[in-house]
Amino acid sequence: MSTYRVAAKGRIDQSRPVHFTFNGERFEGRKGDTLASALLANGVHLVGRSFKYHRPRGILSAGSEEPNALVGVSRGVGRSEPNTRATVLEVFEGLNTVSQNHWPSLKRDVGTINDAFYMLFSAGFYYKTFMWPKSFWNKVYEPFIRGAAGLGKSPSVPDPDTYASRYAHCDVLVVGSGPAGLAAALEAGRSGAKIILVDEQAELGGSLLSEPAAGINGQPAWQWLETAADELAASKNVTVLTRTTAIGYYHENFLGLCQRVTDHLETLPEGAPRERMWRVRARQVVLAQGSIEKPLVFDGNDRPGVMLAGSARTFLNRYGVKVGNRAVVVTSHDSAWLAAINLAEAGVKVSAIIDIRASVPYHLVDLAKAHGIEVLTGWTVTGTSGRLRVSSVRVNPVTAGGKVGRARNIACDTLLMCGGWTPSVHLFSHTKGKLDWNEERQMFLPGAPTEETRCAGAGNGVFGLLDALKEGAFAGASAATDAGFKAKAGDYQIEGEIACTGISVKELPTDRNSSSAKAFVDFQNDVTAKDIRLAVREGFQSIEHIKRYTTTGMATDQGKTSNINGLAIASDAVRRPTPAVGLTTFRPPYTPTTFGAFAGYTRGSLFEVTRKTAIDGWAEQNGAVFEPVSLWRRAWYFPERGEDMHQSVARECKATRQSLGIFDASTLGKIEIVGPDAAEFINRMYTNAWSKLAPGRLRYGLLLGEDGFIRDDGVIGRLSTDRFHVTTTTGGAARVLATMEDYLQTEWPDLKVWLTSTTEQWAVIALNGPNARQLIEPLVEGIDLSNQAFPHMSVAEGNICGVPTRLFRVSFTGELGFEINVPSRYGRAVWEALYEAGRQYDITPYGTEAMHVMRAEKGYIIVGQDTDGTLTPDDAGLGWAIGKAKPDFVGKRSLTRSDMLKADRKQLVGLMTRDPKTVLEEGAHIVADPNQPVPMKMIGHVTSSYWSEALGRSIALAVIEGGRAREGQTVHVPMPGKTHQAEITGMVFFDPENERLNA
Amino acid sequence: MLLIRCPHCAAERPEVEFVYAGEAHISRPRDPAVLTDEQWKNHLFIRSNPRGTHFERWRHIHGCGRFFNAVRDTVTDKFAMTYKAGLPRPSEAEIREARS
């Protein structure tokens, strides 16, 4: 049994030892301990090194606000977590923890040298120190910063845990289960309203867990707590979530609650999620977040053994741990006196209480003296000593005029400090609720709410136990009432409460040179009072700028213990009142939250859907390599034994042009446009003329935005006077439908037109090649496939392989081609039948890459590859697709804006490299003169580039300024290693007379 | 996450069911051809971008699919009211009443 464990105290299970390691050393704790309380029970205060100066750091607090005691936790492969606060980490048998930020060891760390060079690391050091000489940046500064940056080590393998998420609705959500939150939940629960009570700690109670001595309604506090917890547990309308942090408060009473399910367990239950994110919509919210104790700012306030007084009281009363044997207390608030007396009663030698205030309530002074504690009111602390643990504290008297007198030293192994308490207004602030500055109490308090919410207890500035219970009860009852239930706040009686008051101070007065003082404001980011004053001297006036320049409040603790001290010092330095300096914005999450909890189930294959066509399974079985195209996965190419992509694509292209290729085009977007005004609607949407398109005919359609730029394209078939089968690009399908719906619903609601997405209703098999007609002729019923009856750009309905089809004669390869639409459920069967029948023609499946090559050989564009949202139809060489006689269509007016008519607009052209074997890189820049000085003027870029097997050379498409007028000229394409020459050509490289297409 | 009332479904639903669709009460000119470049530019690109009350379009894309209009405060993000597309812009009095 360690000498720091107090046998008769605490809520831990004294009969159940648990063993854990810290930096490889084995320790014993108790069931119910946090890592912090268990280490303190073993006399360990030194738990880490600070971020910037690598100063030894100890445990500052007992709660989630902890800035110093960050540890790495490891429970097997992938299950390691950096920066876990030791004060919230529950110990279990076999827990493995390490300290962070030091090398080679916690006790001997070479990084401490930073501490000696602290002048280099003052406010804004990032912006100053590493500016000069310039040549040092890459080789010296950046590696140094990268090596030193960051807290802890992130895991290097994927997280094996699962994370759950859940939606919930309730009438009243209560955040915090201290006295105010408990009273609120009890009253609201009794009304029958549906309640969720959430608390970040392992058990309910909040500050009551540290105050066993009080009496509530005739019961000792902990007995009352047990009764209350039992009542809530027994109420079917109440859900109690412990180990659950309300991380964010969003619009309209929507809160995120992160529940830690397994982190505290010795063995992980099979299949249990590690954490669960609750997304709760509440009718009414009660915020009872409590308050956070403020440190005092003085030289050496970060030495291990210096901690918050209220936290020392928590370690004693809740965990049965003395934080030291010989304590000194320094405070500006009564509450630390109670901590001192509690510690003295437990056998800690409390040498002295130093109170900044000249006068302190007599009853406290008497009580302290009765416990043999020396009382020094109107004194200050000006320094601490001790290498890895505080060993003495330097104290001085301060005269009424503010003069600091002669110092004396008091030996101690623990220095407890208290600068008052800050109401936790974080969640209230997330809602943009206004915070009002209370000048007398020197604190920000919740003002007018923007949501259906109430604050209660210490989080609302109501600190006394009785007042907190009463305010909580009232908040709970009125929240339930506003949610439509009948509720009334009950009354409370309290025994043994000592009311506490205090004052707020900035840095403590000192007789020493304050410019060499290491008086820390932000422990985690190593920001001192001097840094904040320096920032103000250098011209920073706004608290938001001071924050970013000094990095105060920007660490993982988000300044929970430092914001108000930093603000007080900044406001003193800029000589403006605190509310005029303002508070920085609180943002979710309240405490660090895992990415896993946010992601929930949506990771891996569930991150987003993979859309697969009806024919996808055949492609997979036949060795296709896939590529993602929007959410679809498409067969990219079909390599045969030993082939790489280049060889496979060359073979696929060759086979298609020589005989017959088969291609799965099912992902094409499809929209059925039906109604008496269908033709008029398409006329207004697309650039082309549609009125005269006869049923049974297809036409290429071009869709612009109102700005005149190409948005989408596709082939549109007219099936009858009032029915069109519209195809879109694969990625554009949803966008095009949304645009059409927008115009139809809001601009032209008078048109009688209906739009239906049919993308997934049709499987589309493209057959291309000289033998395409021979293959399908015997399989098709009801359609005359002869060239005269069914020429290029025709559509007809009939049957193929015994199932209904909309048969398109159309080609995206330049070969005789058909696109066979069949209901998706028949897609694979028809594909397989065609493939079997096609063996006589050496039918070859080809993928998207071969499709891209063959369409580029014909100069057919791909919207989004050859266009980028800045090309007009004319720029893309598609001026022919504009219905000149049409009075209007979407985008028409923009085409005559002066900028659209300039001769030097980038135009789509063909490119042939001087060296036919060179395949340019897509995206490569194009310049007119390769010998001009850098930076060169770029006149365009390569949009598509391939090896063309049909031509036995490379081909490319490019956009070039005034490109069409430059046809025949040579341009230069700088690429890694070499600048290539290429000639500007027309866009059609293969069969410009379309003889094959019309065969 | 905001709650948005779809005037077609007459139901309040979470924001994720909807998409924003830009400023409301901007009609496509009946005959764009007669507009000057300046007028057409203003129609295409110039928006009011107010601090405070904003008339805007939303679509209940994962619900009924219909477009509708809304009055929302760009400072608080909160909706005052929603109404069907095609209805006139609500008056200040109507917006005040909806907010109260």
Closest CA to A241 of A192, A199, A273, A286: A199
Same domain, A191 and A265: yes
Examine residue A743 and state whether it is found in any structural domain, yes or no.
yes
In chain A, residues with a C-beta closer than 8 Å to the C-beta of B78 are: 251, 450
Q: Which chain B residues touch A754 with a CB distance below 8 Å?
A: none
* A21 and A65 inside one domain: yes
- Please give the pLDDT value at position A1: 46
Q: Is residue A508 part of a domain?
A: no
A715: β partners: A700
Pick the residue of B5, B28, B87 with the most A CBs within 10 A to test the interface with A by mutation: B28
pLDDT at position A120 is: 62
Q: Quick check: is A302 in a domain?
A: no
User: Please, are residues A425 and A444 in contact by the beta-carbon 8 Å criterion?
Assistant: yes
Q: How far apart are CA A517 and CA A524, in angstroms?
A: 17
Are residues A191 and A279 both part of a single domain?
Answer: yes
Task: Calculate Rg over the CA atoms of chain B.
Answer: 15
Strand arrangement of the beta sheet that strand A698-704 belongs to: A698-704, A710-720, A723-728, A669-674, A754-757
Structure tokens at A472: 């909580």
- A438 lies in some domain: yes
In a domain, A416, yes or no: no
Residue A649 falls within a domain, yes or no?
Answer: yes
Locate the chain A residue with the closest alpha carbon to B3: A252
Domain boundary among A537, A568, A584: A584
Q: Tell me the residue range of the domain where A682 lies.
A: 669-758
The number of C-beta contacts closer than 8 angstroms across A and B is 56
Give A942's strand partners. Answer: A958
Radius of gyration of chain A (CA): 38
Q: What is the CATH number of the domain that holds A561?
A: 1.10.10.1100
User: Could you tell me the CATH number of the domain that includes residue A112?
Assistant: 3.10.20.440
Neighbours of A673 (CB within 10 A): 23
With an 8 Å Cβ cutoff, is B33 touching chain A?
Answer: yes
Three-state DSSP at A923 gives coil
* A352 within a domain of the structure (yes/no): no
Q: Establish if A885 touches chain B: CB-CB under 8 angstroms.
A: no
What's the burial of A979, exposed, middle or buried (CB within 10 Å: 0-12/13-18/19+)?
Answer: exposed
Instruction: Tell me: do A553 and A700 sit in the same domain.
Output: no
The answer to whether residues A662 and A843 touch, using CB atoms and an 8 Å cutoff, is yes
- Between chains, do B33 and A892 touch, taking CB under 8 Å as contact? yes
Q: Tell me the C-alpha distance between A964 and A959, whole Å.
A: 10
- Relative to beta strand A421-423, strand A435-438 is unpaired
Asked if residue A639 and residue A552 are part of one domain, the reply reads no
C-alpha A215/C-alpha A367 separation (Å) is: 20
Of B2, B15, B67, nearest to A745 by CB-CB distance is B67
Residue A661 shares a structural domain with residue A695 = no
Distance of CA A651 to the CA centre of its chain: 46
Minimal C-alpha gap between A747 and chain B (Å): 7
**pLDDT score for A752:** 98
Q: Is residue A707 in some structural domain? A: yes
Residues 6+ apart with CB under 8 A from B39: B29
Which residues of chain A neighbour B41 with C-beta distances below 8 Å? 897
Residues A26 and A104 in one domain: yes
Q: Does residue A287 share a domain with residue A428?
A: yes
pLDDT number for residue A583: 83
Query: pLDDT tens, A208-254?
Result: 999 999 999 999 999 999 999 999 999 999 999 999 999 999 999 99
Binning chain B into helix, strand and coil, the percentages to the nearest 5 are 25, 35, 45
Pick the residue of A165, A251, A890 with the most B CBs within 10 A to test the interface with B by mutation. Answer: A251
Sign of CA dihedral A911, A913, A914, A917: negative
Residues A635, A676, single domain; the answer is: no
Three-state DSSP string of A61-77: CCCCCCCCCEEEEECCC
| Cis before A589 (ω within 30) | yes
Domain containing residue A832: CATH number: 3.30.1360.120
Residue at a domain's end among A539, A569, A584:
A584
B35 touches chain A (CB under 8 A): yes
**ipTM surpasses cut 0.95:** yes
Cα A19-A24-A29 angle, rounded to 5 deg:
20
Gap between the Cα atoms of A907 and A894, Å rounded: 17
Preceding omega of A133 cis (within 30 degrees of 0): yes
| The predicted structure's pLDDT at residue A722 | 97
Distance CA A265, CA A834 (A): 60
Q: Are residues A702 and A730 in the same domain?
A: yes
Residues A38, A97, single domain; the answer is yes
**Regions of chain A short of the pLDDT cut 50:** 1
d(CA A784, CA A781): 8
- CA distances (Å), origin A545, targets A124, A520, A532: 11, 19, 11
Q: Which residues contact A283 (CB under 8 A, 6 or more apart)?
A: A170, A171, A172, A253, A452, A482, A483, A484
Instruction: Tell which residue, A915, A910, A908, has the closest CA to residue A978.
Output: A915
Q: Where does a domain end: A487, A504, A535?
A: A487
Question: Looking at the 3D structure of chain A, how many domains does it have?
Answer: 6
**Which B residues 70-99 touch A at CB under 8 Å?**
76-78, 85-86
Q: How far apart are CA A110 and CA A495, in angstroms?
A: 54
Phi and psi at residue A418, in whole multiples of 5°?
A: -150, 120
Residue B75: closest C-alpha in chain A: A432
* Whole-number Å distance between alpha carbons of A118 and A355: 30
Tokens for A794?
A: 């025709």
Same domain, A795 and A845: yes
Instruction: Read off the pLDDT of residues B15-39 as tens digits, 9 standing for 90 and up.
Output: 999 999 999 999 999 999 999 999 9
CATH number where A934 lies: 2.40.30.110
